[in-house]
Amino acid sequence: MSETTAPLSRTASDDSLSGRRRAARVALRTVQVLLALFYGLASALPKLIAHPSAVEAFDKIGWGSGAMYTIGALELAGGVALLIPVLQSVAAIALSALMVGAFIVQLTAFDGQNAATPLILMVPLALIAWARRGHNADLLRLVRRR
């Protein structure tokens, strides 16, 4: 092999590290897709179609259908945004804020029943927000361009 076609010297640890990075990226992307499906189908859809369980929950809180549809739309938008590279970090932060509100509502209106669910969801959302934080600069450039 000539010098121009010879690969740069790589060690086994370099290959191992790049393999781990790829696996971490794939795992994070899988978590994002699963969360997007959860927020779109399991959380937003019942609110947006006014499923009786969602209507009952919002009536118990005293917020009514307007809040139910608004929160459903926010969850759907956040779920979709988790799949768009430039919006991933911001979406995870926004959904985390929504989960803080859900936690407070679970504690106050439902006596803590299912209060752990929003906290559990915040863990992977925080990981996504941190891991994808590099996209925030891209989003800022896009916003400033207009």
Q: Which residues of 33-46 are buried (b: 16+ CB within 10 A; e: fewer)?
A: eebbeebbeebbeb
More confidently predicted of 13 and 129: 129
Whole-prediction pTM: 0.85
pLDDT (0 to 100) of residue 12: 63
Average pLDDT, the chain: 91
- CA of residue 24 relative to chain centroid, distance: 16
Place of tokens 């979709």: 80
pLDDT (0 to 100) of residue 17: 78
Model confidence pLDDT, tens digit, residues 49-103:
999 999 999 999 999 999 999 999 999 999 999 999 999 999 999 999 999 999 9
Closest CA to 47 of 36, 32, 57, 62: 57
